[in-house]
């Protein structure tokens, strides 16, 4: 996925009407709560569909939540299979999702280091944003969050998180 494609999708979310329609789909399963006229809703749905964020189904429109996972994974730096840690990560990740959280400490550290790269150094994240990012990797996002904090890769204070460890690309 190109950076241009990522920027285009983020640009969709910056537009008020498109964001309102997407929010209504997520929260209510329909577009009535968007508070827009039908032409504006139709244009917003068209943009969301082109961006891969929504699709028409037999029951109406639905949000393609997997698109957010695709975008999130596209921002993570690819791991070249050169080191033992990289091979561990590739064994545990299947199509960008953890098939299991490693139980062996060394393997878990390698996986956590990879996941921590999603968080930008110097940026503060609300807990809900951390949860969304971690849910893209595994359904037990709370365990991942706890492990990242315990291993010093994320720090936390008053439900605000920031990257405090792990490998940093230079």
pLDDT at 149 over 90: yes
Torsion from C-alpha of 81, 91, 70, 125, nearest 10 degrees:
-90
Same domain, 61 and 96: no
pLDDT level of residue 81 (50, 70, 90 thresholds): low
Domain identity same for 87 and 14: no
Residue 168: inside a domain: no
55 and 85 inside one domain: no
Residue pair 61/45 in contact by the 8 Å Cβ criterion: yes
Co-location of 123 and 145 in the same domain: yes
Q: Specify the pTM.
A: 0.56
24 and 88 housed in the same domain: no
**Percent of the chain, pLDDT > 70?**
94
Q: How would residue 116 be classed by pLDDT, with cut points 50, 70 and 90?
A: very high
| CATH number of the domain to which 27 belongs | 1.10.10
Whether residue 122 sits in one domain with residue 57 = no
Whether residue 93 is found in the same domain as residue 142: yes
Interval 153-160 mean pLDDT: 96
| Secondary element (H or E) of residue 157 | strand 154-157
Show which of 48, 70, 92 is a domain's final residue: 70
Strands (DSSP E) contained in 53-129 are 54-57, 60-63, 93-94, 97-98, 124-126
Q: Which of the four pLDDT bands, split at 50, 70 and 90, describes residue 11?
A: confident
DSSP character for 128?
H
Choice between 93 and 29, residue whose per-residue pLDDT is larger: 93
**Is there a domain that residue 170 lies in?**
no
Range of 56's domain? 3-70
For residues 33 and 90, state if they share a domain: no
- Give residue 16's pLDDT: 87
Among the candidates 70, 96, 114, a domain finishes at 70
> Above 80 in pLDDT, residue 3?
no
Q: Would you state the pLDDT for residue 79?
A: 54
Q: How far is CA 32 from CA 40, 49, 63, in A?
A: 12, 18, 15
The values of phi and psi at residue 112, to 5°, are -65, -40
Same domain, 104 and 130: yes
37 and 92 co-located in one domain = no
Greatest CA span in the chain, whole angstroms? 56
The verdict on 15 and 61 lying in the same domain is yes
Same domain as 139, residue 91: yes
Q: How many CB atoms lie within 10 A of CB 152?
A: 12
């Amino acid at each position: 996925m190109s950076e241009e494609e990522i920027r285009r999708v983020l640009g969709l979310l910056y537009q008020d009407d498109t964001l309102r329609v997407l929010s209504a789909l997520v929260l209510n399963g329909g577009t009535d709560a968007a508070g827009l006229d039908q032409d504006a809703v139709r244009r917003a749905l068209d943009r969301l569909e082109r961006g891969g964020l929504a699709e028409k189904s037999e029951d109406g429109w639905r949000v393609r939540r997997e698109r957010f996972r695709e975008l999130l994974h596209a921002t993570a730096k690819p791991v070249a299979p050169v080191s033992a840690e990289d091979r561990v990560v590739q064994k545990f990740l299947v199509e960008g999702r953890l098939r299991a959280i490693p139980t062996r400490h060394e393997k878990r550290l390698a996986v956590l280091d990879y996941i921590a790269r999603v968080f930008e150094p110097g940026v503060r994240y609300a807990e809900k944003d951390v949860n969304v990012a971690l849910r893209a990797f595994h359904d037990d996002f709370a365990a991942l969050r706890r492990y990242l904090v315990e291993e010093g890769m994320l720090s936390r204070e008053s439900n605000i998180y920031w990257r405090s460890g792990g490998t940093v690309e230079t």
